[in-house]
């Protein structure tokens, strides 16, 4: 398997275009993961390190630190809420308004071996800004900008809006591939770190139907 495409690289960081379906960590059942490619990206005796994580089925920008000092700087940036993250998704249905903010705490709910994030007033604070970029009968193209970094935040908040992400079987989006892309990330470091991922093949048809080519 070829390494994921590089969207950005300097002496501090590598930002890759993580394919949908590729986990960042090796699973119990085995199989490829982003970590399998670490030896080829290593610059010294240690590292590299994941600066953050993406769900297995989410495609797009994933930041990898090539130096320990870079890792610490990136982690501080994420912890302080300074990272600017933009996601694109195709969701089921069409919202009644063009934009909004979901401010809904989330907590992990386990049922047998399965789990999901659910709204819970006692859960961790979670805030997501969103705006509709295009739509066609039965589905919409939404840009999500999370201000917090909770597990499954965008997926859970999209479902809370009544418009789950297409292909999200856990949150009501139906079967098929998850239509969620980590489109852009910016870390306000010195120098600034920024990258943008292309639309993955499995999202192209739905995005085009919603008007992506018109941009």
* Residue of 75, 50, 83, 210 lying closest to 142 (CA atoms): 210
Assess contact for 36 and 25: CB atoms under 8 A.
no
> What is the chain's alpha carbon radius of gyration, rounded to the nearest angstrom?
17
| Pairing mode of beta strands 180-187, 59-65 | parallel
How is the chain split among helix, strand and coil, in percent rounded to 5?
20, 35, 45
Cis peptide before 48 (omega within 30 of 0): yes
> Which residues are tagged catalytic?
55
Characterise 21 by phi-psi region: left (phi > 0), alpha (psi -120 to 50), beta (else).
Answer: left
């Amino acid at each position: 398997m070829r390494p994921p495409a590089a969207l950005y690289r300097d002496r501090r960081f590598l930002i890759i275009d993580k394919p949908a379906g590729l986990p960042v960590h090796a699973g119990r059942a085995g199989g490829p993961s982003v970590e399998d490619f670490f030896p080829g990206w290593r610059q010294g005796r240690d590292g590299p390190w994941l600066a953050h994580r993406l769900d297995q089925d989410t495609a797009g920008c994933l930041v990898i630190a090539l130096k320990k000092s870079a890792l610490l700087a990136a982690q501080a940036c994420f912890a302080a809420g300074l990272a600017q993250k933009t996601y694109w998704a195709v969701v089921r249905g069409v919202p009644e308004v063009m934009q909004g903010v979901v401010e809904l705490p989330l907590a992990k709910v386990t049922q047998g071996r399965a789990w999901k994030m659910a709204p819970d007033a006692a859960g961790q604070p979670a805030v997501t800004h969103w705006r509709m970029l295009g739509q066609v009968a039965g589905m919409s193209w939404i840009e999500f900008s999370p201000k917090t970094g909770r597990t499954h935040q965008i997926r859970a908040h999209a479902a809370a809006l009544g418009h789950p992400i297409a292909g999200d079987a856990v949150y009501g989006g139906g079967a098929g591939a998850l239509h969620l892309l980590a489109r852009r990330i910016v870390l306000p470091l010195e120098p600034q770190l920024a990258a943008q991922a292309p639309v993955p093949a499995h999202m192209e048809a739905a995005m085009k139907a919603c008007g992506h080519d018109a941009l």
